[in-house]
């Protein structure tokens, strides 16, 4: 299929190149002296917030009297404790009630919400300064990087999957919603032609209907860029395409979205306004099915340039499922180390997993993974971390987070001048112990993958839980071959066990002494992950925010998988 350029592609590329080139030059200059850049950004953040409630409580004015970088960093550690969200929640609640100058000057632009360690969600403030200096500048560099790596990336349409820009409001009227949704909503008008569907599509509440609408709109068009954080979303989009391919083709031929799909009338009207009969594309799509049987993205989007998606940590399990489904012309670009709390940096090269820390706009500290549980760990500065080592990161930013523990294990893989390259490994709580074995999620994932290869028995999905009450682990499998029975599954578990003992000496010792009992093996019903995710979305999780550790100690989630297990 010949590449169909979007209207104004040259203006879009020019604008993104100018803005991104400027931002990259600023970052590059700052990265040549990490210590100086970190001193400057910390002084700026503290000076801005010194008259806030938090700033006065934590002696920001006294910290700022430091004459050099080392003294500044030392005083900051002395007066400001390492925080998690619950430490900062009381201050955020004051902001939500309308009080200004609590954590930062003024009031927030909006809040992003995400699940927390308690029943109450986290409300993460987004200030105008953070939006302009971090979110916006990072996106400009990111888009410029995509252009440098794949010059045709913005020739076609972009399938961008984000959350709703506005979902509700705090007591004082400040809105909360998806930061990525806000970014997409607020892009310049000349760039809105890029998107395969209007942002209103994300207001479709029915999970399956939203995916149907997204794919029905996108599959008609020549998509050259996909942006979605979680690769599990791509797995589900392809599952949707397999199920409803013929319906898509009929809709495209007639210029409609099937009335069978549950879409509110006002949103349907907005989508319908962008549609018209397209029998030519319908013929193309029918021919693809006749030729290939199962039609993949490489077939209906042959000009794909970039798939921007997470590839690190446990998301790699889902990435492996979809990476061969796209055209050879496509490259995969790591979405970067990002969460609602912090977008830590940008990825400059495609087909890598390394995020360059944004050390000139945020202040970072690091605790080595060996000291994560220490009461008084050594804290490393940005310029002190070493390649090949793993750390937990603390972040201070202009949106009210001070020495905020990200609770993630990151590996330093190299450097961009003096700014470290970071790669997400797993959540700190991805380390599970029943009786002191400290089993890592990545050890479990590696053990399962090795068993798959050894037995030539591929899985569609797997997950493990620590059953502390019964002193054992329970492993759940959904095999690609649906005829796989309990005996074969238990053989698989035996091999997983052997691998875990090799990877974790403490686990081996605990099993040898019978302090950890034999693991239990469970087979899952078909499409178990999709069913689990759908149930979570129904409970209020956002698509792009949805994450699932593959090794957990979580009785609520364990109960959900017990429901999905087959009765053997």
CB within 8 A of 65, min separation 6: which ones?
none
Listed residue (84, 70, 83, 82) closest to 42, CA to CA: 70
CATH number for the region 433-564 comes to 3.30.300
Residues 225, 306 contacting (CB under 8 angstroms):
yes
Listed residue (391, 321, 343, 364) closest to 139, CA to CA: 343
Give the ranges where 150-197 is alpha helix by DSSP (H). 179-185
3-state secondary structure 512-524: HCCCCCCCEEEEE
**Least confident residue range of 186-195, 332-341, 516-525:** 186-195
**Token pair of 409, please?**
């294990």
Indicate if the pLDDT at residue 568 is higher than 70.
no
**Token pair of 224, please?**
């050259």
Q: Where in the chain is the domain with CATH 3.30.300?
A: 433-564
**Token pair of 497, please?**
């066990």
DSSP 396-457: E-TTS-SSEEEEEEEEEEEEETTEEEEEEEEEGGGEE-SSS--EEHHHHHHHHHHHHHHHT-
Listed residue (498, 338, 484) closest to 410, CA to CA: 338
**Token pair of 362, please?**
């945020």
Q: What is the pLDDT of residues 41-86, one digit of tens each?
A: 999 999 999 999 999 999 999 999 999 999 999 999 999 999 999 9
**Least confident residue range of 176-180, 263-267, 326-330, 434-438:** 434-438
Residues 178, 544 contacting (CB under 8 angstroms):
yes
Average pLDDT score over the chain? 92
Residue 564 backbone zone (phi > 0: left; psi -120 to 50: alpha; other: beta):
alpha
Q: What is the pLDDT of residues 326-347, one digit of tens each?
A: 999 999 999 999 988 999 999 9
In this prediction, residue 76 carries a pLDDT of: 98
Residues 400, 435 contacting (CB under 8 angstroms):
no
Cα angle: 321, vertex 159, 251; to 5 degrees: 95
Give the ranges where 2-68 is alpha helix by DSSP (H). 9-30, 34-49, 53-57, 60-63
């Amino acid at each position: 299929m010949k590449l169909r350029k979007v209207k104004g592609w040259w203006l879009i590329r020019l604008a993104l190149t100018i803005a991104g080139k400027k931002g990259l030059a600023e970052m590059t200059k700052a990265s040549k002296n990490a210590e100086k850049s970190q001193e400057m950004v910390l002084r700026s953040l503290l000076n801005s917030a010194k008259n806030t409630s938090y700033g006065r409580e934590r002696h920001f004015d006294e910290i700022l009297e430091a004459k050099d970088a080392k003294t500044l960093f030392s005083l900051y550690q002395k007066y400001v404790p390492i925080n998690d969200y619950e430490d900062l929640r009381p201050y955020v609640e004051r902001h939500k009630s309308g009080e200004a100058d609590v954590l930062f000057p003024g009031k927030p632009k909006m809040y992003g919400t995400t699940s927390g360690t308690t029943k109450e969600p986290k409300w993460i403030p987004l200030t105008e300064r953070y939006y302009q200096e971090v979110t916006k500048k990072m996106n400009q560099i990111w888009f410029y990087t995509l252009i440098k790596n794949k010059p045709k990336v913005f020739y076609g349409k972009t399938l961008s999957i984000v959350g709703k820009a506005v979902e509700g409001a705090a007591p004082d009227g400040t809105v909360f919603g998806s930061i990525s949704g806000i970014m997409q909503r607020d892009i310049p008008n000349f760039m809105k032609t890029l998107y395969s569907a209007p942002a209103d599509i994300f207001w479709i509440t029915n999970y399956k209907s939203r995916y149907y609408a997204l794919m029905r709109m996108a599959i008609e068009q020549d998509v050259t860029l996909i942006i979605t954080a979680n690769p599990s979303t791509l797995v589900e989009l392809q599952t949707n395409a397999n199920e409803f391919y013929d319906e898509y083709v009929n809709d495209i031929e007639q210029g409609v979205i099937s009335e069978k799909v549950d879409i509110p009338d006002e949103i349907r009207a907005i989508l319908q306004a962008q549609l018209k009969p397209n029998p030519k594309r319908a013929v193309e799509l029918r021919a693809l099915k006749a030729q290939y049987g199962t039609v993949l993205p490489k077939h209906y989007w042959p000009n794909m340039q970039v798939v921007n998606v997470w590839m690190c940590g446990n998301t790699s399990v889902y990435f492996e499922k979809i990476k061969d489904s796209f055209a050879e012309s496509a490259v995969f670009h790591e979405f970067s180390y990002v969460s609602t709390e912090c977008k830590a940096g940008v990825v400059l090269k495609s087909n890598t997993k390394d995020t360059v820390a944004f050390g000139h706009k945020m202040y970072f500290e690091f605790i080595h993974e060996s000291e994560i549980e220490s009461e008084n760990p050594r804290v490393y500065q940005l310029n002190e971390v070493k390649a090949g080592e793993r750390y937990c990161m603390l972040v201070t930013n202009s949106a009210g987070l001070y020495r905020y523990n990200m609770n993630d294990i990151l590996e330093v893989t190299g450097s961009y001048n003096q700014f470290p390259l970071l790669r997400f490994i797993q959540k700190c709580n991805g380390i599970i112990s029943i009786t002191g074995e400290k089993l890592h999620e990545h050890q479990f994932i590696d053990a399962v993958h090795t068993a798959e290869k050894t037995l030539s028995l591929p899985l569609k999905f797997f997950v493990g839980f620590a059953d502390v009450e019964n002193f054992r682990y329970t492993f759940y499998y959904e095999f690609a071959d649906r005829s796989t029975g309990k005996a074969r599954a238990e053989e698989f578990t035996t091999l997983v066990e052997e691998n875990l003992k090799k990877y974790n000496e403490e686990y081996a010792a605990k099993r040898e002494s019978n302090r950890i009992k034999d693991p239990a093996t469970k087979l899952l019903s078909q499409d178990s992950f999709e069913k689990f995710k759908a149930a979570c979305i129904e409970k209020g999780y956002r698509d792009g925010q949805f994450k699932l550790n593959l090794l957990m100690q979580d009785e609520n989630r364990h109960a959900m998988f017990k429901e999905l297990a087959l009765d053997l």
